């Protein structure tokens, strides 16, 4: 079974990608979709999740590309876009990446901002999934993701962490009929993960770790606790990610 972590981060420094690859090896993870991390301190990120706000810090997307190039195909780069500053940059480099992340918590973006729509349109042209973590602020809630997904029905959206609280069952219900939205499980409670599988179907659920903030083994234990059958387990742990990312499900490290 191929295991794909749909959401890990690379922080600036000389330790990556070796540190992440070693963690993946220890946990039995074959590949990971990775995005830039370390844009702001955790205390500030936690405050912005509650109160809103934005950082002007630019994501090290080029550093992510370089790290992925050294991973022998195991790490798949996502472009972390600030809608205020990065529409042109993403448009220029989109085909060097495998997906797009938009973060209302980090950059304060509303999902009804036309610059967000511009980014999603580029993602659609590049065949990229769009990873979004909704928050409690107006314009960036699950209902706003529903509206955005309806505007771009050919684009696959990934609802990161099943929301930002671990127990956003209301958000799960809001997104149920948006069939181009999948749920990524890292950081969510087991009950939320179980409801995601039962209400969306196993084909719309993705395993992720939120490395380095979470130990991958913790998220793998959560998958074990769901008691999924073999087909559903294979789908959640890797087959769905391979479909979304157009990767071979039989890939193994050479």
pLDDT (tens digit per residue) in 66-106: 999 999 999 999 999 999 999 999 999 999 999 999 999 99
Q: Which residue has the tokens 């042209």?
A: 125
Strand-pair partners of 81: 102
Tokens of 32: 């990971």
The predicted-structure confidence for 107-138, as pLDDT tens digits, reads as follows: 999 999 999 999 999 999 999 999 999 999 99
Question: Does 123 fall in a domain?
Answer: yes
Q: How many domains does the chain have?
A: 1
Report the pLDDT value the prediction gives residue 250, as an integer from 0 to 100.
61
Is residue 137 within 8 A of residue 123, CB to CB? The reply is: no
Is residue 193 within 8 A of residue 185, CB to CB? The reply is: yes
Mean residue pLDDT across the chain: 95
Question: Does 195 fall in a domain?
Answer: yes
DSSP conformational letter for 97: S
The predicted-structure confidence for 179-215, as pLDDT tens digits, reads as follows: 999 999 999 999 999 999 999 999 999 999 999 999 9
Report the pLDDT value the prediction gives residue 235, as an integer from 0 to 100.
98
* Of the candidate ranges 13-17, 21-25, 192-196, the one whose mean pLDDT is the lowest: 13-17
Give the DSSP letter string of 48-79: HHHH-----PPP-HHHHHHHHHTTTTSEEEEE
Are β-strands 130-132 and 157-159 bridged in parallel, bridged antiparallel, or unpaired?
parallel
Confidence of residue 12 (pLDDT cuts 50, 70, 90): confident
Q: Which helix (H) or strand (E) holds 201?
A: none
Confidence of residue 229 (pLDDT cuts 50, 70, 90): very high
What is the rounded average pLDDT of the residues 134-157? 97
Distance CA 150, CA 90 (A): 22
Distance CA 25, CA 22 (A): 5
Question: Does 253 fall in a domain?
Answer: no
Q: Which residue has the tokens 């002007």?
A: 56
Give yes or no for residue 26 having a pLDDT over 80.
yes
CATH of the domain at 104: 3.20.20.140
Q: How many CB atoms are closer than 10 A to CB 8?
A: 27
Angle, to 10 degrees, between the axis of helix 216-225 and the axis of helix 190-200?
60
Tokens of 82: 């600030």
Confidence of residue 54 (pLDDT cuts 50, 70, 90): very high
Confidence of residue 254 (pLDDT cuts 50, 70, 90): very low
Q: How many CB atoms are closer than 10 A to CB 224?
A: 10
* Of the candidate ranges 11-15, 19-23, 77-81, 96-100, the one whose mean pLDDT is the lowest: 11-15
Q: Which residue has the tokens 């209902």?
A: 143
Give yes or no for residue 252 having a pLDDT over 60.
no
* Of the candidate ranges 45-49, 145-149, 174-178, the one whose mean pLDDT is the lowest: 45-49
What is the rounded average pLDDT of the residues 145-169? 97
Question: Does 104 fall in a domain?
Answer: yes
Is residue 109 within 8 A of residue 102, CB to CB? The reply is: yes
In this prediction the pTM is: 0.96
DSSP conformational letter for 187: T
Distance CA 158, CA 138 (A): 19
Question: Does 78 fall in a domain?
Answer: yes
Domain holding 15, by residue range, is 4-245
Question: Does 254 fall in a domain?
Answer: no
Report the pLDDT value the prediction gives residue 6, as an integer from 0 to 100.
98
Tokens of 31: 């590949």
Confidence of residue 13 (pLDDT cuts 50, 70, 90): confident
Q: How many CB atoms are closer than 10 A to CB 186?
A: 24
In the three-class reduction of DSSP (H, G, I as helix; E, B as strand; rest coil), residue 182 is classed as strand
């Amino acid at each position: 079974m191929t295991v794909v972590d749909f959401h890990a981060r690379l922080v600036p420094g000389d330790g990556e990608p070796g540190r992440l690859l070693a963690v993946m090896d220890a946990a039995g993870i074959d590949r990971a979709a990775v995005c830039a991390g370390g844009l702001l301190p955790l205390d500030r990120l936690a405050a912005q999740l509650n109160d809103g706000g934005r950082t002007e810090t630019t994501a090290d997307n080029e550093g992510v590309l370089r790290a992925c190039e050294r991973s022998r195909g195991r790490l798949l780069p996502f472009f972390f876009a600030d809608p205020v500053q990065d529409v042109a940059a993403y448009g220029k480099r989109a085909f060097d990446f495998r997906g797009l992340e938009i973060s209302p918590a980090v950059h304060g973006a509303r999902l009804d901002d036309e610059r967000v729509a511009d980014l999603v349109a580029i993602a659609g042209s590049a065949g990229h999934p769009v990873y979004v973590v909704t928050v409690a602020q107006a314009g960036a809630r699950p209902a706003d993701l529903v509206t955005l997904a309806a505007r771009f029905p050919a684009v696959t959206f990934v609802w990161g962490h099943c929301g930002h609280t671990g127990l956003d069952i209301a958000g799960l219900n809001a997104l149920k009929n948006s069939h181009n939205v999948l749920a990524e499980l890292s950081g969510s409670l087991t009950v939320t993960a179980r409801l995601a599988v039962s209400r969306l179907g196993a084909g719309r659920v993705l395993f992720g770790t939120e490395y380095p903030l979470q130990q991958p083994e913790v998220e793998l234990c959560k998958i074990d606790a769901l008691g999924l059958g073999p087909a559903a387990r294979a789908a959640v742990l890797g087959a769905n990610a391979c479909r979304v990312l157009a990767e071979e499900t039989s890939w193994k490290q050479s």
